[in-house]
Each structure stands twice: as C-alpha cells, then as structure tokens.
Amino acid sequence: MLRKLLFFLSFFFSIGLFAQDSISFKSIRPKPKKKDSITLTSRDYKRISIFRDTTAVDTTLTLKAMYRQNPIRRDMFAYVPFQNMGQTYTSLAYDYRSVGISPDFGMRGNRFYFSQAQQIPYFYLPTPMIEFSFKSGISQGQMLQSFFSANLTPEFNLFIRYNALRSLGDYKNILSSVGSFSAGFSYYSKNKKYLAMTHYANEEVNRQENGGLLYPEQFGQGDDQFRNRARLDVALSGVNSEENLKRYFLQHQYNFLPASHREGGSEILLKHQVEYQSRNYYHSQSEMASNGVLGQSFTLKSLRDKHSLRELTNRLGAELSLPYLGKTFLYGKSYFYNYFAKGIFVDNNGNFIPHQIKNTDYGIGVQWKKNYKGFAINAQGEQMILGKLLGTEIAGDLSYTFDEKNKVIAGVNVTSKMPNFNFLLYQSDYKNYNWYHLDDFSKENIQTIYGSAYTQWGNLSLDITNINNYTYFQLQPASSGEKNQSKPAQYTGNIQYLKLVGEREFRLGKWGLENTLMYQQVLQDNANVFNVPSLTTRNTLYFTTFMFKKAMFLQTGFTFKYFTNYYAYEYNPLLADFQLQTQEKIGNYSVTDFFLNAKVRTMRIFFTVEHLEALLGKYNYYAAPNQPYRDWKVRLGIIWYFFK
C-alpha cells in the first residue's frame, strides 16, 4: 500500500511539473516588445460576483483550501456528512444573516448540491484558465469537477463548468449520483455604458435511500460479521429520490451618463434582473416497506411521488450614484410561482386537498450603499405588497476597515416570510403525507443582530436571533406496528438563539495550531423544537516546509473535531428533509483526520486518512439518528489550475 501511494504521488508531481511547462494558451493581451517584461500571477485572474465584488483566483495551499476540498467546495465546519459522499449533511448551526422573503422549495436534504444565482461567479482573465478538482469516493466512485473560462476580448468573458459525482458507499442502498452543468458569459462595453451577466444552470441529485439502520445495535456492538457494513440491515430497499433544477439568469444595466460626466463615481443606471427556475422532486419506490417505516400507503405496487416548482422573478429599477450620497437603487419586483403536486387528493373525510399554489406577487425595494473614510454602510428593504405569499425584509450593516488585516462589522436583519413550500403543500401515495397549510400557517418572523471582528490576532463573530412561528416537521403517533410519521407544525412561541464563533491561529516556526470554537445556546420554554449542540470545536495541528529546492510545498498534520451531544434532527427519505425527534441524542465523539498535502506550482494534492478513532472499535459515531458517520477511510483529492 505504501509503495503504491508513493508511486501515485510521484506520478502526479511529475505530471504537474511537465504539464505546466508544456501547456500554453493564447492570451488576449498583445505580445509585448522584447524590452518589456510582463509577468502574470494567479492574482491577475479575477473572480467577479453579480454584486461586482472582485477577488483573485486562489491557488495557495492553506488549511482553508483543505477544508473546502469536498463536493460542496466550502468549509463544512458546522455540518456533519452522512456516510456516503453525495448524501446530505446534518447542520450543527444555522445562519440567519441573510434569509430572503420568498419560500424555498423545501427538500432541505438536497439543498447542498444546488446553486443559487448569486453564487455563480464571473471572470476577467488575461489568459484562458482551466481548473480540475478530483476526490475519491466511498467504497467505489469519485468526484470530478472541471471548469474552463476565457476572455475572448477584454470586454467579453465566457465560462463552462461541469461537475460529476458518483459514490457507492459502504452500506446497502445508498448509491449517490450528483451532476451539474453551468455556462454563461459577461460583457462590459468599451465605453463602460452597458454591462451584462448571464448564465444557464442544469443540476441534478439522484440517490438511493435506505432509511437508516433498522437495528442500530448491529452497528454499536461491533461484531466481526458486521464490520462489512453491507451486511447491516437497513430500513428501506428499492427507494430512489431525485431532484433537478434548471435556471436561466440575466442581469444587465445601462449607464446614461457619458464618460465625461462620471468623475467622482457619478452614475445613473437602469438595471434589470430576470431569473427563471424550474425544480422537480421525485420519490420512487419499487417495493413498499413492510416494516411500517413510512406508514400505510394507498397502493401495494410501486409508487412515484412528484412535486414541482416554477419561478419567474423580475426586478427593474434605477440607481443613482453620487460622490457624497453613495448609491441608491429603487426597484419594482414581480415574483411568479407555481408549486404543484401530481394531482387532486381526497382525504378520509371526503375533503379535497388542493394540489397547487400559484400566483404572482408584486413588491418594491430599495438599496443604499455608502463608503466614507474606511466606513461602509449597506442598507436594503423589500416589501411584497400584492399577492398570496407576500413577505418583508429589512437589513443593514455597518463596517469599518482599519487596514488590510483588521476589520469590524455589525448588522441587523428583520424578515417575515411564509414557510417552505413543502410545509405548505405535500401529496404522496403514503397516507400520512398529505397536507395543505397555506391558509392556516403564519409567516415565520426572524430578527437577527450580529457582529464580527476580523483581526490579525483572530476572528470573532456573534449572532443573536429571535424566531417566531418556527416551522418544522414533527413526529405524530401512527398506527400499531408503524413508526411515528412526520407532519408539519409551527411553534407559536419565541425562540432565542445565540451563536458565538471564535477563530485563532498560533504559529511557531514551521508549526501551526489553528482553532475554531463555536458556542450555542437556545431558549425556547422547554419546547425542544430547535436543537443544536452547545459546543463545537475544530483544532488543526500542522507542519509546513518547502522541499526539492522549493519546487514543492508540503503541509501535514492532524485535524480534530468534536461536538457535544444533542437531539439532532432525523432524516426522512420520503420528504428529503429533516424531522424533529427527542428520543436519541448524537454527538460526544471526536473525529481525528491525518492529512498530507502538497503543492507543485498550481497543482494541490490532498491525501487524508479520515476518522482514526474508528480503528479503536468504539462505534458510537452517528451523523444523524440511525445514520452512522463514516468509518476510517483513505482519501485522495486534487485541485489543478492551468494558466499560461
């Protein structure tokens, strides 16, 4: 095994050194004269958001890069992954700094693998750029993400991204498949009057569902016959869930002021944003569960539940930018939505349950931004005034930047919105999963105040949130021989939620210790409907050095993660969502990973031995009730950029 690993790493190192010397791309820049010298670095390659925020493409090897080396491509400190790559995650904390005023589709178990329009980046590149990202799967399979972008002219950039994941997993019936494709372009006219950003996205999650362990004691007792996890009995077989998304997005603006009148940043802009999105969720089952896991059904044959959402959002307005007044954007908004199930349902009392929520809501909004001597003010408000769902959001933040290493920010967000669509309407061939609550559920009211300090000594953030009419799935008593089944419910009291997160890194020569600590507390009048662990910590001890005459940068060490036990939400495979339970706590176990990372030019390699404690034979580690966390695994990951 060691010989194979050393050969594999040496092979990739040699490819990296060879490929980056031999591959060249055509540049949009004119060829410089011999007496000139132009040297490009990764910092010349810019990533641009739809809000016009610009960051450089990062090819450095850091702990943050290692934390983000996963299918989601973000730091998952506040989450616990299920056993197989491509499955869902248990949330250890929640963020209410930005909520939005429209209901989400629901099916929150799939949300990690679907993008939002504001998350799609655009680029400005001096030469074409290619990125590959790879990570080995669980048992069998892998993840491969590929990306290409180029500026055909200094004004026009295009990009194409394709991500694919397929992983078998160790347990029965948890095969996962995730795929996404996106393509788009940005255009900024030479006279700087017209700007357009547009993209198309097609994303899909398809996976088998096993409903968790049928007999958890088979896992906990550690018998040799069950070391092969495929031998453990699971709750469901022949079950498949699928969700797909298609999105068309365009944001463009026109500046009415000629260049001669734009001194000091003055602008008069006409701005328009349009987004169409379709989503479909399918739950299919080739054989009905005989153990009462999902309750009684209307059919003894195979079933296929379907729920769909069509959304069209238009926003049109004008922005006035003046040197001393900042930027003020006034707009009108229309939101068309059509959420529907497969047909009309009649309950046991002969009552019709509607199968559709459809309307167009209209609203207005305002945004204001102002920078002054290190201060930055952002304020916005949006109110839907006509329609069924409506909604209100008022938000703002004030920040002050001392220098490049020190910044503080404080803000507030007040939102009132209807719960997710699958709380309001759901229909299934399972008898207990049919409801309509558009008329009797109230808006969720969320108020958050927060503050953060980013300093050269460490980072600290505090969020205090109050939630009224919190909506969740609650287990209701079922017939004899069946498990309790989920029903949507609202807690009409107030929930006070405090989250405090601190980050600090200590360095001594080539050694480092990076620490992240999160403390949480919830006050809810003993209701136990909103549950989080009180303490979560992640500590990474690492060593860094250059090797081979500084041709390779090496980073190695251990990462330790722990969270206290709490009543975690249980995953429901029919809803692809999480339901409240107060019978079983998870947590109070540690996960230690060994890592050996290396960087050769623009190629980064991540070798990890995950969850060393699993070798000790104490099987108390769960990602959710009846859903074990991963056993120890050897994983390989690669991120490789190609520039000229």
Task: Tell me which residue range forms the domain holding 353.
Answer: 56-642
Averaged pLDDT score across all residues of the chain = 91
Query: Taking residues 555-560, what's their average pLDDT?
Result: 98
Given a cut of 50, whether residue 112 has pLDDT beyond it is yes
pLDDT at 323 over 80: yes
Answer yes or no: are the C-beta atoms of 528 and 567 closer than 8 Å: yes
Residue 100 corresponds to which tokens in the numbers above? 């939005």
Q: Which of 214, 67, 86, 77 is nearest to 144 (CA)?
A: 86
What does the pLDDT read at residue 480? 64
Rounded-to-integer distance, Cα 345 and Cα 432, Å: 12
Tokens (6 digits) for 285 = 């089952």
Among 262-266, 502-506, 615-619, which stretch is predicted with the lowest mean pLDDT?
262-266
Question: Does the pLDDT of residue 33 top 80, yes or no?
Answer: no
Conformation bin of residue 418: beta by default, left when phi > 0, alpha when psi is -120 to 50: beta
Q: Which residue has the tokens 């016009």?
A: 52
Confidence bin at 291 (pLDDT 50/70/90): low
Predicted local distance difference test score (pLDDT) of residue 299: 81
- Per-residue pLDDT, 8: 40
pLDDT tens readout for residues 460-514: 999 999 999 999 999 987 766 677 889 999 999 999 999 999 999 999 999 999 9
Smallest Cα–Cα separation from 232: which of 83, 110, 86?
83
Residue 37 in any domain: the answer is no
Residue 165 lies in a domain: yes
Residue type at position 445: N
Contact at 8 Å (CB) between 138 and 630? yes
Determine, yes or no, domain membership for 631. Answer: yes
At 342, the amino acid letter reads K
Q: Is the pLDDT of residue 617 over 90?
A: no
d(CA 520, CA 532): 7
Q: Give the H or E element holding residue 601.
A: none
Q: Does residue 12 have a pLDDT over 90?
A: no
Contact 563, 90 (CB under 8 A): no
The Cα 247–Cα 119 span in angstroms is 13
How large is the average pLDDT for residues 232-260?
Answer: 94
Rounded to whole angstroms, the Cα distance separating 587 from 584 reads 10
Which of 149-163, 311-325, 347-361 shows the lowest per-residue confidence on average (mean pLDDT)?
Answer: 347-361
CA distance 317 to 253: 10
What pLDDT shows up at residue 288? 72
Token pair belonging to 478:
């079922």
CA distance 173 to 210: 5
In a domain, 129, yes or no: yes
Count of C-beta atoms within a 10 Å radius of residue 24: 11
Kindly report the number of other CB atoms within 10 A of residue 98's CB atom.
12
Other Cβ atoms closer than 10 A to 395: 19
- 70 contacts 86 by C-beta, under 8 angstroms: no
| pLDDT top residue among 324 and 425 | 425
Residue 91 lies in a domain: yes
Report whether pLDDT(18) > 60. no
| Per-residue pLDDT reduced to its tens digit, 142-182 | 999 999 999 999 999 999 999 999 999 999 999 999 999 99
**Distance (Å, whole) CA 297 – CA 435:** 15
Tell me the C-alpha distance between 271 and 395, whole Å: 21
Q: Quote the pLDDT of residue 342.
A: 82
Question: What is the pLDDT at residue 5?
Answer: 42
Q: Which amino acid is at 74?
A: R
On whether residue 46 sits in a domain, the answer given is no
pLDDT of residue 24: 41
Report DSSP state, residue 31: P
Confidence of residue 26 (pLDDT cuts 50, 70, 90): very low
- Of 488, 450, 449, 491, the residue nearest 468 (C-alpha): 491
The stretch 124-138 carries a mean pLDDT of 96
Residue 344 has pLDDT above 90, yes or no: no
* Residue 41 falls inside a structural domain: no
Q: What is the pTM of this model?
A: 0.91
Tell me if residue 229 falls in helix, strand or coil. helix
Angle at 460 between CA 407 and CA 67, to 5 degrees: 100
Highest mean pLDDT among 277-281, 282-286, 303-307, 340-344: 277-281
pLDDT at 621 over 80: yes
pLDDT at 292: 77
pLDDT of residue 483: 78
Q: Tell me, what's the pLDDT at 290?
A: 65
Other CB atoms within a 10 A radius of the CB of residue 171 amount to 22
The widest CA-to-CA distance across the chain, in whole angstroms, is 87
DSSP line for 545-603? EEETTTTEEEEEEEEEEEE--B-PPEEETTTTEEEB--S--B--EEEEEEEEEEEETTE
CB atoms within 10 A of CB 76: 16
Up-side HSE of residue 581: CA atoms within 13 Å toward CB?
19
- The predicted pLDDT at position 222 comes to 85
Report the pLDDT value the prediction gives residue 533, as an integer from 0 to 100.
Answer: 98
| Three-class secondary structure of residue 327 per DSSP | strand
What percent of the chain has a predicted confidence (pLDDT) above 90? 82
How many structural domains are present in the chain?
1
Q: Are 178 and 71 spatial neighbours (Cβ–Cβ below 8 Å)? A: yes
Band the pLDDT of 28: cuts 50, 70, 90: low
pLDDT at site 284 = 94
Torsion angle of the four alpha carbons 39, 40, 43, 48, in this order, in degrees rounded to the nearest 10:
140
Q: With cut-offs at 50, 70 and 90, classify the pLDDT of residue 15.
A: very low
Identity of the residue numbered 576: A
CATH code, domain with 338: 2.40.170.20
pLDDT score of 19 = 41
Q: Mean pLDDT over residues 130-139, rounded? A: 96
- Pairwise CA distance, residues 422 & 430, whole Å: 15
Residue 160: inside a domain: yes
Distance CA 264, CA 324 (A): 9
DSSP characters over 474-485: EEE--STTS--E
